[in-house]
Amino acid sequence: TQLLEQSPQFLSIQEGENLTVYCNSSSVFSSLQWYRQEPGEGPVLLVTVVTGGEVKKLKRLTFQFGDARKDSSLHITAAQPGDTGLYLCAGAEGGDDKIIFGKGTRLHILP
Amino acid sequence: NAGVMQNPRHLVRRRGQEARLRCSPMKGHSHVYWYRQLPEEGLKFMVYLQKENIIDESGMPKERFSAEFPKEGPSILRIQQVVRGDSAAYFCASSHNAANTEAFFGQGTRLTVV
């Protein structure tokens, strides 16, 4: 069974600071997705990374897929209170494409 | 989240009753996933269905839980004889096909067993 481990589990930082959260696995994924979930809502897809070494930017968010396609990172520049939420990485497991999730990083940006 | 509709948003059941959670996938999507989320935790995979077929139910408890995705109509997650431990948020997601693993989520059904 492929597992996605996310770190840190919790992160609380001041507005304006930079941060990086990680998603790691011992297995290779054909693609990884990052989602953000706010309290009381369903996860919202932020980005999909497919190619090893790929970097995608979404405003102040930078997503990177590891060269070996086993890990990914999310870097946020100049964090804002609106970035607060649960960040989840996900990937397809095995030939039947069951999508599995990491446990998430719960991010809190202090104003 | 637009397009994946879950209902009800909130469901209260007494112990021993049945809970039926519905999920209408995005238009054109034939793959549905159900996940369970406890407070302050991540999403736990329950079941993956395509139209009229269960592809993977490895995350479903062996008793009391069942899921279907009929040819017509929404996907249904059914919990019989609910217990307090079934209280959680249940999320449904849909995707276009097996080659596209980007899933789009509904807003969830929050089940409370009293």
Q: How far is CA B104 from the centre of its chain?
A: 13
pLDDT attached to residue A19 = 97
Confidence of residue B88 (pLDDT cuts 50, 70, 90): very high
Query: In A, which residues are within 8 Å of B41 by CB distance?
Result: 103-104
| 3-state secondary structure labels for all residues of chain B | CCCCEEECCEEEECCCCCEEEEEECCCCCCEEEEEEECCCCCEEEEEEEECCEEEECCCCCCCCEEEECCCCCCEEEEECCCCHHHCEEEEEEEECCCCCCCCEECCCEEEEEC
- Look at B30-44, B48-62, B87-101 and tell me which has the smallest mean pLDDT: B87-101
CB atoms within 10 A of CB B110: 16
Are A31 and B101 inside 8 Å of each other by CB? yes
Q: What is the rounded distance in angstroms from the CA atom of residue B42 to the CA atom of residue B69?
A: 24
Taking contacts as CB-CB distances below 8 angstroms, the residues of chain A near B1 are: 41-42, 44
Taking an 8 Å cut-off on Cβ atoms, the answer to whether B43 and A98 are in contact is: no
Which residue stretches of chain A have pLDDT < 70? 1-2, 93-97
Residue B1 confidence (pLDDT) above 50: no
Looking at residue A83, the DSSP 8-state letter turns out to be G
**Interchain CB contact of A75 with B (< 8 Å):** no
Q: State the maximum Cα–Cα separation within chain A, in Å, rounded to a whole number.
A: 44
Instruction: Write out pLDDT tens, residues B3-51.
Output: 899 999 999 999 999 999 999 999 888 899 999 999 878 889 999 999 8
Residues of A in contact with B33 (CB under 8 A): 98-99
**Token pair 């970097």: residue:** A55
Smallest Cα distance from A103 to chain B, Å: 4
**pLDDT tens, residue by residue, A21-50:** 999 998 888 889 999 999 889 999 999 998
- B47: tokens are 């079941």
pLDDT of residue A39: 86
